[in-house]
């Protein structure tokens, strides 16, 4: 059953409709309360575009009928305030629902969109695509409070969401993915939904007639210089290496690495350390535990990893993991809060690493 889109104007009123992130994927594919307008907003621009595409297809078919869809930039609409209303009043040559997709919307477009939503128009769906909006955004309130409208937030995927998306994507393409390959893909994807999809589509092409994705396949397609730099950065954090951290962090930021990606890579490193340390406490030799890790420890950091296993305790590793997890949660907040929280988290762990190294160093008389 498709979405209940493009309704004729209804007389009923509703309370503010803000679709939660936990239910949005299901709601996009099942009948929704009838609405004529949807605001898609958030820091994950790729997810904004993907959800917009799903709604366009639900209203105008797959592939969408080009006569039914109008793509307009907010810049164009600002130059001609009547453009949106004129476009909405134009009936598609082939009939059906008219879809207006307005790209790059900001707070300054609130007045224009308010006028459009107040217009008596039948069989029209307006999709407004915006970036991250502040908590008390007038634009969000407009869509949440208006009749027949809704707001959908598009945040960066959580680890569980990335895992689910990759597995679902592979199933749709009749591909199996090994646990180690899945772990690698989850660690290296997820900062932007469209980037994740493009990388997986490249992987599908690469696999050809082979229907089982192994870790080597994932590394061959998704692996890049930033991946190794992220790993080196995480190792440097656990080592308390100021100079290496500063140099690598600058390089990663220039490559477009987000704070969330850096936090996740560092968390993954500490989780691996924690596994080896706790296994050793239970009697399993650390070298055996290290060999069992997937993906394998890169030869360039193997010595540092072994050294860190010898000086970090399970309790301190647990505390470091908690700091990183809390910092990622802060990254979902508005503005520079996430950036500050990320820097503070790394600084706390680096200082702890320095103290741990100092305490573990042999005394010289």
Based on the fold, state whether residues 331 and 238 are members of the same structural domain: yes
CATH code, domain with 164: 1.10.8.60
Domain that holds residue 171: 160-222
Residue ranges in the chain assigned as alpha helix (H): 24-28, 45-60, 74-79, 83-88, 110-117, 138-145, 159-172, 179-188, 193-207, 215-222, 225-239, 242-254, 259-281, 286-292, 302-311, 314-330, 337-360
Q: Are 51 and 21 in contact (CB under 8 A)?
A: no
pLDDT(145) > 70: yes
For the whole prediction, is pTM greater than 0.85?
no
Q: Which residues are paired to 105 by β-bridges?
A: 130
Residue 2 located in a structural domain:
no
Banded model confidence at residue 294, pLDDT cuts 50, 70, 90 = confident
- The count of structural domains within the chain is 3
pLDDT, mean over the chain: 82
How many angstroms separate the CA atoms of 165 and 186, rounded?
Answer: 10
Based on the fold, state whether residues 234 and 355 are members of the same structural domain: yes
Residue 1 located in a structural domain:
no
Q: Which residues are paired to 151 by β-bridges?
A: 18, 39
Banded model confidence at residue 21, pLDDT cuts 50, 70, 90 = low
CATH code, domain with 241: 1.20.272.10
Banded model confidence at residue 118, pLDDT cuts 50, 70, 90 = confident
Residue 3 located in a structural domain:
no
Based on the fold, state whether residues 107 and 58 are members of the same structural domain: yes
The residue from 171, 188, 222 where one domain ends is: 222
What is the per-residue pLDDT across 167-193, written as a single tens digit (0 to 9) for each? 999 999 999 999 988 988 887 787 678
Give the rounded percent of residues in the chain with a pLDDT score beyond 90. 28
Residue 210 located in a structural domain:
yes
Residue 7 located in a structural domain:
no
How many angstroms separate the CA atoms of 80 and 58, rounded?
Answer: 29
Based on the fold, state whether residues 42 and 148 are members of the same structural domain: yes
Give the rounded percent of residues in the chain with a pLDDT score beyond 70. 84
Region 152-164 average pLDDT: 84
Q: Are 263 and 328 in contact (CB under 8 A)?
A: yes
Count the neighbouring beta carbons within 10 Å of the beta carbon of residue 179: 9
Report the candidate in 237, 208, 222, 205 with the shortest Cα–Cα distance to residue 304.
Answer: 237
Based on the fold, state whether residues 136 and 94 are members of the same structural domain: yes
Residue 6 located in a structural domain:
no
- pLDDT for the residue 14: 45
pLDDT(321) > 90: yes
Based on the fold, state whether residues 229 and 112 are members of the same structural domain: no
Peptide bond into 63 cis (omega under 30): yes
Separation of CA 198 from chain center: 14
Based on the fold, state whether residues 65 and 183 are members of the same structural domain: no
Tokens 């599908």 belong to 204
Residue 12 located in a structural domain:
no
Report the candidate in 255, 261, 252 with the shortest Cα–Cα distance to residue 44.
Answer: 261
Based on the fold, state whether residues 78 and 148 are members of the same structural domain: yes
- pLDDT for the residue 227: 60
Least confident of 38-42, 65-69, 108-112, 226-230: 226-230
């Amino acid at each position: 059953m498709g979405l209940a889109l493009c309704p004729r104007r209804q007389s009923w009123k509703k309370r503010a409709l803000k679709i939660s992130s936990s239910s949005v994927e299901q709601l996009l594919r099942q009948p929704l309360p009838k609405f004529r307008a949807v605001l898609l907003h958030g820091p994950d621009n790729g997810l904004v575009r993907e959800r917009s595409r799903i709604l366009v297809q639900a209203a105008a078919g797959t592939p969408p009928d080009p006569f039914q869809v109008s793509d307009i930039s907010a810049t164009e609409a600002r130059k001609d305030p009547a453009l949106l209303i004129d476009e909405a009043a134009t009936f598609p040559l082939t009939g059906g629902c008219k879809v207006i997709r307005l790209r790059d919307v900001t707070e300054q477009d609130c007045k224009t969109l308010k006028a459009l939503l107040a217009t008596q128009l039948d069989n029209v769906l307006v999709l407004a695509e915006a970036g991250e909006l502040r908590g008390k955004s007038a634009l969000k309130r407009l869509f949440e409070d208006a009749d027949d409208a809704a707001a959908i937030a598009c945040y960066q995927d959580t680890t569980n969401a990335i895992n689910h998306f990759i597995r679902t994507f592979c199933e749709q393409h009749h591909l199996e993915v090994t646990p180690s390959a899945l772990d690698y893909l989850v660690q290296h994807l997820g900062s932007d939904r469209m980037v994740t999809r493009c990388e997986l589509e490249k992987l599908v092409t690469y696999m050809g007639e082979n229907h089982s994705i192994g870790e080597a396949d994932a590394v061959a397609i998704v692996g890049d210089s930033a991946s190794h730099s992220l790993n080196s950065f995480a190792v440097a954090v656990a080592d308390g290496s100021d100079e290496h951290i500063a140099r690598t962090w600058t390089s990663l930021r220039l490559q477009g690495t987000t704070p969330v990606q850096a936090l996740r890579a560092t968390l993954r490193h500490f989780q691996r350390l924690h596994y080896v340390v706790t296994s050793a406490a239970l009697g399993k030799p650390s070298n055996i535990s290290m060999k069992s890790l997937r993906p394998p420890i890169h030869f360039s950091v193997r010595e540092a990893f072994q050294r860190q296993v010898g000086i970090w305790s399970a309790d301190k590793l647990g505390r470091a993991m908690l700091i990183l997890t809390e910092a990622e949660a802060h990254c979902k907040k508005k503005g520079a809060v996430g950036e500050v929280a990320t820097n503070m988290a790394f600084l706390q762990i680096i200082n702890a690493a320095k103290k741990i190294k100092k305490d573990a160093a042999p005394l010289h008389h």
